[in-house]
Structure 1
Amino acid sequence: MQTQDTSQAGPGPRYRTVAVIGAGAMGKGIAQIAAQAGSVVRFFDAHGPALERALPEIGSQWDRMVEKGRLDAAAGAACKQRLVAAAGLRDLADCELVVEAIVENLDAKKSLFAELESIVAPGAVLATNTSSLSVTAIGAGLKEPRRLAGYHFFNPVPLMKVVEVIAGLQTDPAVCEGLAAYARQMGHTPVRAADTPGFIVNHAGRGYNTEALRIVAEGVADFATIDRILKDQVGFRLGPFELMDLTGLDVSHPVMESIYRQYYDEPRYRPSALAAQRAAGGVVGRKAGEGFYRYIDGKAQVPAEPPVPQVEELPPVWVSTRAARRAELFQLLKALGAKVETGQSPSMNALTLVAPLGFDVTTVAVVDRHDPARTIGIDMLVEDAATKRRVLATNPATRTDMRDAAHALFARDGKAVSVIRDSAGFVTQRVVATIVNIASDMCQQGVCSPADLETAVTLGLGYPLGPLAMGNRWGPDNMLEVLFNMQTVYGDPRYRPSPWLRRRGAIGLSLLHEEA
């Protein structure tokens, strides 16, 4: 196969004539940005009415951009001239690039590309916008699978400024170089991914939702509490249940199942029966009026937080000798005006405070021989000054008066407090560690480079930090401790640490570090 030099994009568009097949949301977005990049775009959909609706919708987008001053009038008019409806596949014969954005069905995509291969020129590049299917499988029946690559955009395409460029097993590297160069011309950031289930973004995003669902399924906390904790402690813009309601479980749950099955039931990606039930029942999110939250006029009905208990007299507090951030915890208790005991063991009236990494409160109370009725856990993974919320955990034996006293004490300065039931790793520890572990294993597998993983996740998922930077922020050694201890508590291989994380955590290396 002959391909053009792709080392430099040149003054004009990398592909002068581009075909986009599929007039759904993704196809419309790709056609819009390709025309804005200066390419003539031949737009086709086998369902004629869909194409008829799509053309004026794209034109309206350019009109709005002109009105807002983001595009001048002449440029808007030129974009409209470059967008041309195609009557059939034969009209695409002169296209240098064909981007497919049809239904997510392997047979349909294979059939389309087999037909296209006999129509377009031998040097034309074929690209699939698949989000979950194997690029290698799509190209397996082609005479020239070397010219097919994945080109996965995100919805809405004009606003989501990242695109995954995926090489199948037989893809010519020059094809991916050309697609990456063209992505930059369209104003997007290309990231390179191996042909693996979920590619980068859908793969890396598994931990956030699936671990939150497991926490709910264990009865640890409700949807709103988990959302509040992860927004206030980590800085996520949307909690996992808000996010799933926005996306819709009819979209997100099949992706969870697909990635899990494609990895032959790898425990790290195990989906949730809770989500499957809701998806089957049509309780899929905002568009249905009900998901994890109910919606009235499009607004989530979020239950109010429990009030801070009124406690007449607070008991003295004794801090476990093995508490994480113990010195910082002492300083916090002093600032809150607590009566702190400093003996080798707590008095009979003291509230016993533990701060484990990865273990649950019950395990610590048993191992350290604390009275479980007076033992409360506090999550100290995130520095207190950096968090908007403190999280406490009871154990099954914790007395109500001790629970209320701890809540009242830690809310004394006005900072929000959530009290959850016992959980190995609380909420933040287990969700963050799961995200970091999956990302680490993606690097171990060679799915992508650490740098591309960070870029893809921050742009594609809007995380406050990339997963590897998140692990560095709270310590690879802490992530390891959380995972090892969670695996001990649950006995679940889901939490086994990736070799990438284990080795870098053991020798104090950044998770972004690549071997020479």
Structure 2
Amino acid sequence: MTAIERSRTVAVVGAGTMGQGIAQVALLAGHRVLIHDIDAHAARDGVDQVRDRVERLAAKGRLDRAGADEANGRINAAQALSELADAALVIEAVVEDVTVKQQLFASLEGVVSPDALLATNTSSLSVTELAAGMAHPGRFLGLHFFNPAPLLPLVEVVSGFATDQAAAERAYETVLGWGKTPVRCADTPGFIVNRIARPFYAEAFAVYEEQGADPATIDAVLRESGGFKMGPFELTDLIGQDVNEAVTRSVWDSFFRSPKFTPSLAQRRLVQSGRLGRKSGHGWFPYGPDARLPQPHTAAPEEAPAKVTVVGDLGPAAALADLLEEAGIAVTATGQGGPYIQLPGEGQLVLADGKTSVEFTDVVYFDLALDYREATRIALSTGEDTSERTLAEAVGLFQKLGKKVSVIGDVPGMIVARTVAMLIDLTADAVARGVATAEDIDTAMRLGVNYPLGPSAWHERLGRDWAYDLLHHLDERCPGGRYAPSLALFKLGYAEDGAVDGAEDETGDDGEEYGDDQ
């Protein structure tokens, strides 16, 4: 089915920020637009706000004068729902309350034509539940725009249990024609973005609660090593701790309190204390004219070793061998054993794998990086038996590569590695359950929350068994189900082999031991 014709009317119910943004998108796509609100003054103000934005676009040269005047002549306030009778699409953006929304759509069904689409912009409620009681639920679906709607390209097109495929396709094509990037999604808690994104916050908060590192350091590592645009602590301060925690709790409750989505006690205490982030003047970090933001832990300068031995295949960290040679460090490579970097003082440098440094003698773990050449910071962790010389050599080695170094506590999986592994796992599980395709999930996470790579792209880059192995080790050290790899991830990692190579082996890949097991 084709997109809704530009000659047809699009109506938006709810004149708040999101409603205004959606109205602006439809208006500039060429539709006649009506805004309705239970508060007639709010509807008129919403129209005025959209017209002002159109005028600003014209003033900046992004819209010609004639186009701006023509557009502003096509948007009006509707005093009553009955005025939406000729709308081909009605999108609601009202309060997140099931009863309010259900009553609204029951009323709309008696107003609009039989071929009109009805859509909710909800970010947290079930599309299937909202459609309960409708006479024609087949034409009802979710169109979840991201704020600010005129600027952010992503729209989740959510099919409820009763949504007709033809209605979903018509909505998809319509949104695509508006210049947005739609992704198809089944009605699942959190849809795509709010479901898959939970570990980005949860793992950072867990590292903090485990005394692994402070918020400023965790944020810096995820930005400067993981390639994320913002760290989870600064991002939740921007979103609002109450808002972010409410989404987490909603997803957790909707999944029957699965340990995969368990909220953070530290964040709960933050909300209870009223430290909600930027809007309250204090969250994880202080704000205001006199506030001094804490700085990440950065290790003091150390001397780099003159030579190292690369033992085995470093996998995702293989680029380090070339970088070390380019930095003037003599590198000897051996294909037997490992994988690790042998330091001159007999200590070993190992990529985070879900184990802990305390399990081995004289081992330093280093975290995953999106790109070891481009990364500007690397996190290291040590155990009780790690010598001062080994830590100094490890710090100096990465400093020689031009990286800042943050030494964190001995937490399994470190920071970037455990976060990425969990994102990969939730994505594999969602794809297997028919929530969305891997491609749509990757698109949603890149455009919706600005991730440097989609989880499936990470998975492909890191190797099909990397995330499974890391989570398997994490699950053994932190039992309870949170880190138990999904069946879908197991199948992706090992189905072709027909066996789980090394999953029962605690000595490293292919049974080769690194360090001295304690």
Comparing 33-42 with 375-384, greater Cα deviation is found at 375-384
1:412 matched residue in structure 2: 400
Same amino acid, percent of matched pairs: 37
User: Which of 163, 183, 193 does residue 171 from structure 1 map onto?
Assistant: 163
1:375 matched residue in structure 2: 363
| Cα distance change on mapping 1:129 and 1:347 into 2, 3 Å | closer
In structure 1, what is the Cα distance between the partners aligned to 2:219 and 2:342? Answer: 36
Matched, 1:240 2:232: yes
User: Which of 350, 354, 361 does residue 359 from structure 1 map onto?
Assistant: 354
2:38 matched residue in structure 1: 46
In structure 1, what is the Cα distance between the partners aligned to 2:371 and 2:412? Answer: 19
In structure 2, what is the Cα distance between the partners aligned to 1:235 and 1:129? Answer: 30
* TM-aligned CA deviation for residue 160 of structure 1: 0.9
Comparing 118-127 with 28-37, greater Cα deviation is found at 118-127
Comparing 271-280 with 349-358, greater Cα deviation is found at 349-358
SS, match of residue 126 in structure 1:
strand
Asked if structure 1 preserves the Cα contact closer than 8 Å seen for 2:424 and 2:455, the reply is yes
Asked if structure 2 preserves the Cα contact closer than 8 Å seen for 1:41 and 1:84, the reply is yes
Deviations 1:342-369 (A, max 9, x none): 999999993522415423333540xxxx
TM-score by length of 2: 0.87
Deviations 1:445-474 (A, max 9, x none): 100112211221111111111110011112
Matched, 1:505 2:499: no
Deviations 1:141-196 (A, max 9, x none): 11111221111111000111111111111112221111112102221111111111
In structure 2, what is the Cα distance between the partners aligned to 1:234 and 1:358? Answer: 16
Asked if structure 1 preserves the Cα contact closer than 8 Å seen for 2:308 and 2:343, the reply is no
Superposition map of 1:132-151 within 5 A = 132-151=124-143
1:71 matched residue in structure 2: 63
**Unaligned runs of at least 5 residues, structure 1:** 1-6, 510-516
SS, match of residue 294 in structure 1:
coil
In structure 1, what is the Cα distance between the partners aligned to 2:358 and 2:496? Answer: 28
| Cα distance change on mapping 1:300 and 1:452 into 2, 3 Å | farther
User: Which of 19, 22, 26 does residue 18 from structure 2 map onto?
Assistant: 26
User: Which of 401, 409, 417 does residue 429 from structure 1 map onto?
Assistant: 417
* TM-aligned CA deviation for residue 404 of structure 1: 4.3
| Cα distance change on mapping 1:82 and 1:489 into 2, 3 Å | same
SS, match of residue 260 in structure 2:
helix
User: Which of 82, 88, 96 does residue 74 from structure 2 map onto?
Assistant: 82
In structure 2, what is the Cα distance between the partners aligned to 1:492 and 1:332? Answer: 39
* TM-aligned CA deviation for residue 254 of structure 1: 0.3
Asked if structure 2 preserves the Cα contact closer than 8 Å seen for 1:244 and 1:252, the reply is yes
* TM-aligned CA deviation for residue 94 of structure 1: 2.2
In structure 1, what is the Cα distance between the partners aligned to 2:436 and 2:145? Answer: 17
In structure 2, what is the Cα distance between the partners aligned to 1:174 and 1:145? Answer: 13
1:35 matched residue in structure 2: 27
In structure 2, what is the Cα distance between the partners aligned to 1:21 and 1:482? Answer: 47
1:463 matched residue in structure 2: 451
Deviations 1:277-297 (A, max 9, x none): 112222122222222222234
Superposition map of 1:218-233 within 5 A = 218-233=210-225
Superposition map of 1:47-446 within 5 A = 47-297=39-289, 301-303=293-295, 305-309=297-301, 335=327, 337=329, 350=345, 352-362=347-357, 364-365=359-360, 370=361, 374-379=362-367, 384-398=372-386, 403-446=391-434
| Cα distance change on mapping 1:177 and 1:262 into 2, 3 Å | same
| Cα distance change on mapping 1:381 and 1:465 into 2, 3 Å | closer
Comparing 276-285 with 402-411, greater Cα deviation is found at 402-411
In structure 2, what is the Cα distance between the partners aligned to 1:298 and 1:167? Answer: 48
Asked if structure 1 preserves the Cα contact closer than 8 Å seen for 2:315 and 2:462, the reply is no
The amino acid across from 1:79 in the alignment is: A
* TM-aligned CA deviation for residue 320 of structure 1: 7.7
The amino acid across from 2:71 in the alignment is: C
* TM-aligned CA deviation for residue 377 of structure 1: 2.1
Asked if structure 2 preserves the Cα contact closer than 8 Å seen for 1:223 and 1:241, the reply is yes
In structure 2, what is the Cα distance between the partners aligned to 1:31 and 1:496? Answer: 44
Deviations 1:259-312 (A, max 9, x none): 01101112211111111111222212222222222223498724254351467x
Asked if structure 2 preserves the Cα contact closer than 8 Å seen for 1:362 and 1:422, the reply is yes
Asked if structure 2 preserves the Cα contact closer than 8 Å seen for 1:319 and 1:353, the reply is no
* TM-aligned CA deviation for residue 395 of structure 1: 1.6
Asked if structure 2 preserves the Cα contact closer than 8 Å seen for 1:381 and 1:474, the reply is no
In structure 2, what is the Cα distance between the partners aligned to 1:117 and 1:349? Answer: 75
| Cα distance change on mapping 1:486 and 1:381 into 2, 3 Å | farther
1:8 matched residue in structure 2: 2
SS, match of residue 287 in structure 2:
strand
* TM-aligned CA deviation for residue 51 of structure 1: 2.3
| Cα distance change on mapping 1:327 and 1:229 into 2, 3 Å | closer
The amino acid across from 1:457 in the alignment is: M
**Unaligned runs of at least 5 residues, structure 2:** 498-518
The amino acid across from 1:154 in the alignment is: F
Asked if structure 1 preserves the Cα contact closer than 8 Å seen for 2:227 and 2:370, the reply is no
C-alpha RMSD of the superposition: 3.1
In structure 1, what is the Cα distance between the partners aligned to 2:199 and 2:65? Answer: 45
Aligned length in residues: 493
The amino acid across from 1:221 in the alignment is: A
